Amino acid sequence: MRGHTDDVNGIVHLPDGRSIITCSHDSSLRRWDLESGVQIGDDWRDGRDEARVWCIALSPNGKTVASGSSDGTVRLWNVETEKVIAKWAGHTGIVRSLCWSAGGERLVSGSEDGTARVWDVGSGKTPRQTMLGHTDYVTGVAHLPDGRSIITCSGDGSLRRWDLESGAQICDDWQDEGDKAGVWCIALSPNGKIVASGSRDGTVRLWNVETEKVIAKWAGHTGRVKSLHWSADGERVVSGSHDGMARVWNVESGKTVLGPIKAHERVFAVAYSPDMKKIATGGQIEDAVKIWDATTGELLSMLKHENQIISLAWTSDQNKLISAAASCISIFDTATW
C-alpha cells in the first residue's frame, strides 16, 4: 500500500474485514482495500491542518476513529463520511496513545505533556478529566475490565492507576523499589488481572492489578523493551527489545522458554498469532517481517518489506498479517507463506 509520504504510525482493522485505516506523520489518515491494496477515496485530512498524526484507535462499534496529533489535539473521524466530527484541544504535547472504553462512551489520551485525559465522547470538547501526576511522557494507556479505571505508564519510571469519574490517582505510584527506569510499553493480560511492562533498562515486569505490586521481574534484554504481547491463553509473554532480541517468557516460572532470538538490529514490534503457533517480529535493518515457530523458535518465513517495521497486527481469523513502516503498509496472506 503506497501513498503515505512519511512514517506510518498506526493501523486499525474495520469490522467489514475488507479494509483498514492507517495514520502517518504526513498528517493524513487513509483507508485501504485489503485485497487489492488500493487506497479507498481521498486522504482523510482536517482542512489545511499539517500536524503529524501519531496514533489512532477504533471505537468499539467500529463507526468512529480517534486520532492523536503532534499539536496536542485529539480528533474523532466518522468512518462512513471520512470527516472530522470532533476536535478536542487540551494537551500541550504530542498525543502518543489513545484507548476507548469498552462501551465507547469515553476516550483516554496520553501525551508527552505528562498527562492523561479522559474525554466524554458525547459532551463535546471539554475533557471529562485530566490526570495529573506523571513527570515525563505518558507512553501507554490500558483500560481495566471494571470500566471504571485505567492504567498508564511513563518515561518517569512509574505506572499509575486512575479513577475515570474523578480523574484522581488511585493509591500511590506503581514503582519497583525505587527503580526509575522509564517504562516504554504496557500490555494487559487476557484476564485483566496482570499488567506486563517493558522498561528502558531491558527488564520486563509483571504487576498484580489488585495489589499494584510487582510479582515478577525478568532480566535478559540489554536494551530498552519496546514491545510486549500476551499469548491468547495468558501463559506466555513475548518481548521485543532494542538489543535486537525477542524472548518468550513463561508467566508461571518466569523463565525464558524461547530465545533469545536474534530477530533484527532492533526489535520494534512483536505479535503472537491468534492460535499461538507463530510469532511475528519487525524492526530496524533487514527491512523484513520475520515469522517464527512459537514453540521451537525456527524461522519459518521472512517477508520482504520496505523500510523498518514499526507495528504489526494479525487479523482475528489469522488469514492476514499487516505491517506498518515509514510511508508503507503491507498485507501478507498467511496461506502463501
Inter-residue contact 324 to 309 (CB < 8 Å): yes
Closest CA to 313 of 14, 75, 28: 14
For the chain, how many residues are written? 337
Long-range CB contacts for residues 132-136, cutoff 8 Å, separation at least 24: 133/160, 133/169, 133/173, 134/158, 134/160, 136/182
Q: Biggest alpha carbon distance in the chain? A: 54
Burial of 89 (0-12, 13-18, 19+ CB in 10 A): exposed
Residue 72 grid coordinates: 496536542
Residue pair 44/30 in contact by the 8 Å Cβ criterion: yes
Within 8 A by CB and 6+ apart from 198, the residues are 183, 184, 185, 186, 204, 224, 225, 226, 227, 228, 239, 241
Instruction: Return the pLDDT at 123.
Output: 79
* Residue 307 confidence (pLDDT): 75
DSSP string, 5-64: EEEEEEEEE-TTSSEEEEEETTS-EEEEETTT-PEEEEEE--TT--PPEEEEEE-TTSSE
pLDDT of 80 reads 94
Residue among 9, 110, 89, 93 nearest 56 (CA): 9
Distance separating alpha carbons of residues 119 and 104, to the nearest angstrom:
11
Helix residue spans in the chain (DSSP H): none
* Residue type for position 265: E
Tens of pLDDT, residue by residue, the chain (337 residues)? 888 998 888 889 899 888 999 999 999 999 999 889 899 999 999 988 889 999 999 999 999 999 999 999 999 999 999 999 999 998 999 999 999 988 898 899 989 898 888 898 987 656 667 788 898 988 888 889 888 899 999 999 999 999 988 889 999 999 887 677 899 999 999 999 999 999 999 999 999 999 999 999 999 999 999 999 999 999 999 999 999 999 999 999 999 999 999 999 999 999 999 999 999 999 987 778 999 999 999 999 998 877 788 889 888 888 889 888 766 778 888 887 7
Domains and CATH numbers, the chain: 50-333 (2.130.10.10)
Taking the model in full, what pTM does it have?
A: 0.73
Cα–Cα distance measured from residue 109 to residue 91, given in angstroms and rounded to the nearest whole number: 9
| Burial status of residue 39 (CB atoms within 10 A of its CB: 0-12, 13-18, 19 or more) | middle
Q: Retrieve residue 65's grid coordinates.
A: 476513529
Using left for φ > 0, alpha for ψ between -120 and 50, and beta otherwise, residue 82 falls in left
pLDDT at 127: 65
CA pair distance 178, 273, nearest whole angstrom: 36
Residue 163, CA atoms < 13 Å, CB-side half-sphere: 8
Q: What per-residue confidence (pLDDT) applies to 124?
A: 62
Going by C-alpha positions, the residue among 314, 266, 322, 311 that lies closest to residue 294 is 314
> Which residue from 39, 71, 38 is spatially nearest to 52, judged by alpha carbons?
71
Query: Tell me, what amino acid is at 330?
Result: S
What does the buried/exposed string (b/e) look like for 122-140 if buried means 16 or more CB atoms within 10 Å of the residue's CB?
eeeeebbbebebbeebbbb
